[in-house]
Amino acid sequence: MTARLHAPTDPNAALDTLAGWLAEARHIAVLTGAGMSTESGIPDFRSYQGRYTQNASLAEVLSIDYFQHNPADFWQAFKEIFELKLVGNKQPNAGHRFLAWLETQGKTVSVLTQNIDGLHQCAGSREVVEVHGTLQRAVCPACGRMHDLAHVLASPLPRCLSCCTPLKPDVVLYGEAVSQFEAALLKVLDADVLLVLGSSLEVGPVNLLPLEAHQHGIDCALINLDPTRLDRCFDLVFRAPIGQTAQALQARLESRA
């Protein structure tokens, strides 16, 4: 395990170290959160201007309990919070593109994302585990039929085309199990490096992934504007914007090639 280096004590040395890990890694696991997409114009939940701080009841509104009791109110709020009409207008940013670029350099890159915006796939990442689901689909809780975003947008309360039951977004709501957690954990434990980008690490069980990586001696780096309660699990911590840091890393990797 590499010695703990915390930016900004010596950010250039920390960047050199991380670039070295990435250059040597066969398999890189990347856990991303809402901070990954703020540079694409999608607000996060917990940073200063994030929506969570403006509306303390967000976790209640985005819960399975609220959906089951008030599907019409739930859908109205869900569409507003995630600006569903605008989903197709958002573009990947330099951070998303960097992860896709790493694959072109012969790396296996497992993107484990808490995001539901689909921007990693838009950027070209091929192996993406959407641990909290996706905005692109809605599922019928009664018969399991999937429906696309166009159908969801067509009416205020989208219903199943087979059985007319109100649809649920194909996302993990607060109070629901994270069925993809095991798959994500297996990717992390197989990796040489874990990179965590733009997550407060407040949401479980996904926030166990860096703890597991740390306990298994996997090199761990965090790029996040705000401190997290799990900073101690990381060998490198960058308190910096993802896009700028990704570009600095790419320049270092290109100069090694």
Active site residues per annotation? 132
Options 10-18, 28-36, 97-105, 186-194: segment touching ligand NAD (CB under 6 A): 28-36
Instruction: Report the residue from 170, 198, 209, 233 that binds ligand NAD according to the rule CB under 6 A.
Output: 198
Give the angle 186-181-63 at the CA atoms, nearest 5°.
170
Of the candidates 133, 169, 142, 140, the one whose C-alpha atom is nearest the C-alpha of residue 153 is: 169
Quick check: 64 binds ligand NAD (CB under 6 A)? no
Quick check: 241 binds ligand NAD (CB under 6 A)? yes
Options 22-30, 98-106, 181-189, 224-232: segment touching ligand NAD (CB under 6 A): 224-232
Alpha carbons 200 and 220: distance in angstroms, whole number = 15
Alpha carbons 154 and 152: distance in angstroms, whole number = 6
Nearest approach in angstroms of CB 162 to ligand NAD is 28
Quick check: 114 binds ligand NAD (CB under 6 A)? yes
Pairing mode, strands 133-139 and 146-148:
antiparallel
Count of residues that bind ligand NAD according to CB under 6 A: 28
Within residues 70-109, the interface with ligand NAD by CB under 6 A covers: none
Of the candidates 201, 216, 205, 137, the one whose C-alpha atom is nearest the C-alpha of residue 171 is: 137
Kind plus residue range of the DSSP H or E element containing 148: strand 146-148
Options 8-16, 35-43, 145-153, 187-195: segment touching ligand NAD (CB under 6 A): 35-43
Instruction: Report the residue from 96, 107, 120, 132 that binds ligand NAD according to the rule CB under 6 A.
Output: 132
Where do runs of H (alpha helix) occur along 141-207?
149-153, 181-190
Quick check: 121 binds ligand NAD (CB under 6 A)? no
Q: Give me 118's structure tokens.
A: 């689909």
Of the candidates 178, 226, 210, the one whose C-alpha atom is nearest the C-alpha of residue 50 is: 226
The footprint of ligand NAD (CB under 6 A) covers 33-35, 37-39, 42, 44-47, 50, 114-117, 132, 198-200, 202-203, 223-226, 241-242
